[in-house]
Structure 1
């Protein structure tokens, strides 16, 4: 367990030691081989609930029709072992009507936790609230649908939520990279997002190379996050599901305090699935607060001694609980997910590069898969054309709202080029919001246009 790792400053034994040891005797989720005579030699189907179902029967479950599954497997098998982040054209069947930039904004749903952290006098409780905020996004991220890859120069804007202004931009196409900035009176959130993948046939490992930082405004305290990797299981065969086993490490860069939470891997019959436990440590790497819960339900905390045992006379208290979600939603969206996918969170006069305006995203939202596929191909072709024209003219793409810095941030999975918010969007927003000539119909009539060397937004 992470908290018992001497490199992480945990004690031996402790409150969670028995939990960790019980899982050490349980293997990973039940794995079944798809029968080779079907032409899928070596592929594995992992059933998180375990059971004794026939491997072939389990493999045929999921969102794919038989002919679609066969066709997709023929296309994908040549990529086994490769990073498929940006080199594979995927069918819209596996997409949700949202882009990666919008998914980045979903973390703001429970931003009241950062407001509480900023107002908190206890430094350890401040860490509890911040790490709870980072945990909260995993409920939304358990969706097995793939968001659209943003077009280079695409943006997403969000307002009307806890006083937050949020802007995200696709700053690189190869490799795919996004940057985002969110801010209200209590905090600043900055992220440079980049992932590395490894395609394994019926699953894909996703390694987060990004950098996420939160600055609390009252005292200027800065937190840095290193999340665990993620595995998407049963990508082609069986029911797709997601697991994120490993350590989440939140470091207070101002005073050296740290939070280490261990995401339990899913074991047989779902044992350990969703479970998270760990500690808040002081700068001397002694545990101060234990934390436990499930990333799809809630997270609780309790003061502890140097051995990691609960202090006498204290009790577990809840730091965060997931909000109620719609029942039987097609894409498993939360209410907030639907909100950020609408214009209810849009500012006056959205940028023409905004994700909401993408015709392929909108067509999928309306249930028109053929049109969504055609629009997606058209946008990708136009992106290739824009790149060709730019290179012919000797021009280099430069993001509008973020600047590439000289800083290189190390991560467990590779080095990351860091983009920094340049403040220009704040200036742009102030000018646009001062205009009183903008009508609500302007939003609906704006044509999607992320292309770098054309108008920022339709006049």
Structure 2
């Protein structure tokens, strides 16, 4: 099995790939040096899929017109170099009808890979399944519309998929932080998400300051995921596209085994885009299985020797492939993403704080941009009013389904406090399912209500 050299386009043996993964810093230095020698310093691929689409083509897809871009560029120019995670009000035209809480559930589309990891007795193949699951979400990251930032106290629930019960909640607004917990008979998935950004003008660097862990129930093994950062290119001018160059590391905290996958940066004329490869290592950092593929299509694995070369008599075996997707979908959603917006994946007696009920999200899904903008502004003003009321009355916001642990974890992009699932959601669901009136409630007619206070309380503050 061979891999592609990003500099020349030629093929190189796996042992060089192994060296590159282990010594990535040397590789990056060599890459930058060679670019300078060749005179390509600062060269940026505008659109790796071909010629750049003009503003009219972008507008046909629901994007803003050129005059909108010019106006927004003037407003955003002052924020260059800043973290714009929650300091900028964004126009509804750049959003998709989904929230970040739903995005946290989207990684569960291929949850069957975690089921297989739990059932697998081979420690290294177990890591292949779990790491492939972590890579699978990147197909959805090709979508360049932005999800809505959740309102403080907003939630999202999911059922009817792989036997999973999922709950997520917005636990902080400044800085924005979301928590999620999913569970079935095979695994638990727990995530505390906090993004840090750096605005660079026409691009945005996004750093995943957070913690994602999977607990396999058969053995109790805990898998810890550290994803690579993401870069949003052509944020305002040109065709927007995303790239996630760098390493993804999945570590087994019980055995010491780990998988290290290298996401290739998009090179000249789109070379290397989507490609990902690396190894599963034992606790002594010896390669046992190589992994290769493209994060937008499929991944395969193969046994390898100590040099990272495929073992004689073995062949690549596919472990994951992207499912069929709708053709010409306006928001480039998968079938699963559409289900997340529907009530087919909602439990009985949906929480009134659920993302599906957001009036701005619903209006955008129906194509009513004017109403979506008005509703988005109304929700944001109500959220600010609640914040002012809490500060005036010296009250703190307390999440319903998650709680602070007091633990601080380090990530490559900064430290963060950790929340944990408090178990109360499972108790609430048991009570709901035991209620004879639960099936009579029409969830679609519920008013969106994530609020901590009644409007009368705020007005009287």
TM over 0.5: yes
Q: Which runs of 5+ in 2 are unaligned?
A: 1-12, 22-26, 456-461
Q: Does 1:372 find its partner at 2:385?
A: no
Q: Distance in 2 between matches of 1:66 and 1:310?
A: 51
Distance 1:155 1:450, change over 3 A: same
Deviations along 1:156-184, whole A, 9 cap, x unmatched? 00000010000000000000000000000
Match of 2:185 in 1: 185
Q: Distance in 2 between matches of 1:67 and 1:118?
A: 53
Q: Distance in 2 between matches of 1:402 and 1:18?
A: 42
Q: Distance in 1 between matches of 2:261 and 2:373?
A: 40
Distance 1:43 1:186, change over 3 A: same
Distance 1:302 1:50, change over 3 A: same
Match of 2:459 in 1: none
Match of 1:79 in 2: 79
Match of 2:242 in 1: 242
Match of 1:6 in 2: none
Match of 1:220 in 2: 220
Q: Distance in 2 between matches of 1:43 and 1:392?
A: 52
Match of 1:14 in 2: 15
Per-residue deviation at 1:47?
Answer: 2.6
Q: Does 1:165 find its partner at 2:168?
A: no
Distance 1:16 1:97, change over 3 A: same
Match of 2:96 in 1: 96
Match of 2:5 in 1: none
Deviations along 1:74-130, whole A, 9 cap, x unmatched? 111111110000000000000000000001100010000000000001000000000
Per-residue deviation at 1:357?
Answer: 0.2
Q: Distance in 1 between matches of 2:86 and 2:157?
A: 24
Match of 1:194 in 2: 194
Name the SS for the 2:198 alignment partner: strand
Distance 1:122 1:18, change over 3 A: closer
Q: Distance in 1 between matches of 2:18 and 2:418?
A: 38
Q: Is the 8 A contact 1:267 1:273 kept in 2?
A: yes
Q: Distance in 2 between matches of 1:315 and 1:435?
A: 54
Q: Is the 8 A contact 1:248 1:261 kept in 2?
A: yes
Per-residue deviation at 1:380?
Answer: 0.3
Match of 2:337 in 1: 337
Q: Is the 8 A contact 2:55 2:65 kept in 1?
A: no
Distance 1:299 1:394, change over 3 A: same
Q: Is the 8 A contact 1:258 1:283 kept in 2?
A: yes
Q: Does 1:131 find its partner at 2:96?
A: no
Distance 1:253 1:342, change over 3 A: same
Name the SS for the 1:103 alignment partner: helix
Match of 2:445 in 1: 445
Name the SS for the 1:209 alignment partner: strand
Match of 2:458 in 1: none
Scaled by the length of structure 2, what TM-score is found? 0.89
Deviations along 1:272-328, whole A, 9 cap, x unmatched? 000000000000000000000000000100000000000011000001000011111
Backbone CA RMSD of aligned residues: 2.6
Q: Distance in 2 between matches of 1:19 and 1:108?
A: 31
Q: Is the 8 A contact 2:45 2:270 kept in 1?
A: no
Task: Give the alignment of 1:59-78 within 5 angstroms.
Answer: 62=58, 63-78=63-78
Per-residue deviation at 1:437?
Answer: 1.1
Q: Distance in 2 between matches of 1:343 and 1:372?
A: 20
Name the SS for the 2:442 alignment partner: helix
Match of 2:313 in 1: 313
Q: Is the 8 A contact 1:151 1:383 kept in 2?
A: yes
Per-residue deviation at 1:452?
Answer: 2.2
Distance 1:220 1:454, change over 3 A: farther
Per-residue deviation at 1:66?
Answer: 1.6
How many residues matched? 430
Q: Is the 8 A contact 1:60 1:238 kept in 2?
A: no
Q: Distance in 2 between matches of 1:77 and 1:199?
A: 9
Distance 1:172 1:354, change over 3 A: same
Q: Is 15-24 or 240-249 further displaced after alignment?
A: 15-24
Per-residue deviation at 1:386?
Answer: 1.0
Distance 1:175 1:32, change over 3 A: farther
Q: Distance in 2 between matches of 1:162 and 1:209?
A: 28
Q: Distance in 2 between matches of 1:50 and 1:162?
A: 38
Name the SS for the 1:273 alignment partner: coil
Match of 1:302 in 2: 302
Match of 1:106 in 2: 106
Q: Distance in 1 between matches of 2:165 and 2:314?
A: 38
Name the SS for the 1:14 alignment partner: helix
Q: Is the 8 A contact 2:229 2:245 kept in 1?
A: yes
Match of 2:230 in 1: 230
Match of 2:155 in 1: 155
Name the SS for the 2:46 alignment partner: strand
Q: Which runs of 5+ in 1 are unaligned?
A: 1-11, 34-41
Q: Is 322-331 or 63-72 further displaced after alignment?
A: 63-72
Name the SS for the 1:69 alignment partner: helix
